[in-house]
Structure 1
Amino acid sequence: MRGSTASCSAELARLRAALSEADAVVIGAGAGLSAAAGFAYDGARFRENFADFIERYHVTDMYAAGFYPYASPEEFWAYWSRYVLLNRYEQPPGELYAALLELVRGRDYFVITTNVDHCFQRAGFERKRLFYTQGDYGLFQCAKPCHEKTYDNETAIRQMASRQSGLRVPAELLPRCPVCGGPMSMNLRCDDTFVQDEGWYRAALRYERFLEEHSGARVLYLELGVGYNTPGIIKFSFWRMAAENKNARYACLNLGEATAPRELGARAICIDADLADAIRWLK
């Protein structure tokens, strides 16, 4: 174990016990989980895959590059097709997600995540136990939007990534809405145009029902790599639900940001350690 994980061995032991005693586990996953799994959006991984974009546009990381004001849709989709290909279709979820799946295999669990890289489903987690609240790199929507429907984009993304030249994609490959003929966009929650389609609402309902069915049970709310960009979706709701259910426990694993409300007392487990090391230790 690395030093940070070794120093948390007592809390990790408490978490292992809480896992074994839980009637149900609700996993709340943020960007820190995928970062620990190797999906870094900056540094060497960014430079290796986007050196030409860095040279021309002086962008500093994948996230910032996604919001760069590209001069044309051909340039915009040159970046985004490469970005989605890398983070949604090419790089496998890796050992961390596999280890996490082993921790909950055979248990009654549900996952709510703000991540949009689809790693949980690609790693083998049951689709009916997943709620992606903020969208999916693998989906297009009408940019307006003129209707509430999303579309799988793998074929289009692969074509644009393979045929781009000079940091542009051919104009004929630009994704167009099949209803209004206007431009398509990524199905990501970044403004009020985000489409919550039928699949989104079905997943939200399954999550709500899971919480209702386990109200008052020994639930472990397991928060992994969740920061404070959108704390109301996972962190604050986990705090509230754990506080309302005296049989519940709350665990926060987050390097540098492992905190819990004082009101939860001994029912809170805070582990300030590398997520990959901590999950491997638990497994």
Structure 2
Amino acid sequence: MQDPITTAAQYVLEADGLLITAGAGMGIDSGLPDFRGPEGFWRAYPALGLQRLMFEEIACPDAFVRDPEQAWGFYAHRLNLYRRTTPHAGFALLRAMAERLERGAFVFTSNVDGQFQKAGFDELQVAECHGSLHHLQCFHDCRGHIWPAADFAPEVDEARCRLRSPLPRCPDCGALARPNVLMFGDWNWQSGRTEVQRQRLENWLATVQRPVVIELGAGTAIPTVRWFGEMRGAPLIRINPGEAEVCTDRGVSLPLGAHVGLQAMARELRAAGFLD
């Protein structure tokens, strides 16, 4: 049986376009927290742990109604964390692979952290299926507007998980602004930006004759990313330290973290003369 790293590299060598699908595990090697299970979440946010608040109870519109300073304390802390986090070297390896393929690459991710753009991926080649924390919208979605959060500089009391600076406001109606991310039990998420991204992705896929999917850190609890890659019917490289199993004869499992898995593939691709 051929070594799985060799198989993964061969899939890339035979492709003309790279579809990168990524879940929360992609950011762990950059130092971003893992929210899997209440214990992991409460380690990252001990103030919420003291209240026994689950991730689903703070990452929802009701939290902004119940206590907007606390809800924004949680999301603003994440925004500040994403802004100061440097993407790990695996992102650069993906870019290097894409640059050598005729149709380049497109990213489909459930992550709202903007790390792919920060790592140098073209904004027009990224589809964020759950939105982005780097963009805001009206809590009531009064006019369907989405705007960048670049001018929002939140100050957070991290010990209490509360926003200390003024709450952000909708420039159209003055109501509370919220992150343009899909939350639990969310009926007012403005999906317009994501829909435009998805259309760009579909347009790109139509130009690719021999796609390969590299899936990174996508779990089964919310399997949107896994399903999207599997539905392409293309060779699938699943890099995941805990849930790497694939159920297709054109798939390969790499039970590794994202950075380590990509490094292993890069070594094989360098040996084949594909990467410098």
TM tier, smaller: 0.7 to 0.9
1:194 aligns with 2:189: yes
Q: Distance in 1 between matches of 2:214 and 2:113?
A: 20
Q: Distance in 2 between matches of 1:69 and 1:14?
A: 46
SS at match of 2:121: coil
Q: Go from structure 1 to structure 2 and tell me whether the alpha carbon gap of 1:193 and 1:30 turns closer, same or farther (over 3 Å shift).
A: same
Q: 1:220 Cα deviation (Å)?
A: 0.7
Q: Go from structure 1 to structure 2 and tell me whether the alpha carbon gap of 1:268 and 1:50 turns closer, same or farther (over 3 Å shift).
A: closer
Tell me which residue corresponds to 1:112: 108
Q: 1:210 Cα deviation (Å)?
A: 1.2
The 8 Å contact of residues 16 and 211 in structure 2, kept in 1 or not, is answered as yes
Q: 1:63 Cα deviation (Å)?
A: 7.2
1:220 aligns with 2:212: yes
Query: Of 249, 263, 272, which aligns to 1:280?
Result: 263
Q: Which has the higher helix share?
A: 1
| Percent identity of paired positions between Structure 1 and Structure 2 | 22
Q: Go from structure 1 to structure 2 and tell me whether the alpha carbon gap of 1:63 and 1:137 turns closer, same or farther (over 3 Å shift).
A: farther
One-letter amino acid of the counterpart of residue 19, structure 2: V
1:268 aligns with 2:254: no
The 8 Å contact of residues 25 and 219 in structure 1, kept in 2 or not, is answered as yes
1:229 aligns with 2:221: yes
The 8 Å contact of residues 41 and 63 in structure 1, kept in 2 or not, is answered as no
1:93 aligns with 2:76: no
One-letter amino acid of the counterpart of residue 17, structure 1: Q
One-letter amino acid of the counterpart of residue 111, structure 1: V
Q: Distance in 1 between matches of 2:255 and 2:161?
A: 41
Q: Distance in 2 between matches of 1:28 and 1:72?
A: 34
Query: Of 205, 216, 234, which aligns to 1:211?
Result: 205
Q: 1:195 Cα deviation (Å)?
A: 0.6
Query: Of 168, 175, 180, which aligns to 2:173?
Result: 180
Q: Distance in 2 between matches of 1:257 and 1:166?
A: 34
Name the TM-score, length of structure 2 as normaliser.
Answer: 0.80
One-letter amino acid of the counterpart of residue 104, structure 1: A
Gaps of 5+ in 2: 267-276
The count of residues paired between Structure 1 and Structure 2 equals 257
Q: Give structure 1 regions of 4+ aligned residues with deviation exceeding 6 angstroms.
A: 43-46, 163-166
Gaps of 5+ in 1: 1-7, 243-247
Tell me which residue corresponds to 1:83: 78
Tell me which residue corresponds to 1:22: 15
Name the TM-score, length of structure 1 as normaliser.
Answer: 0.78
The 8 Å contact of residues 144 and 193 in structure 1, kept in 2 or not, is answered as yes
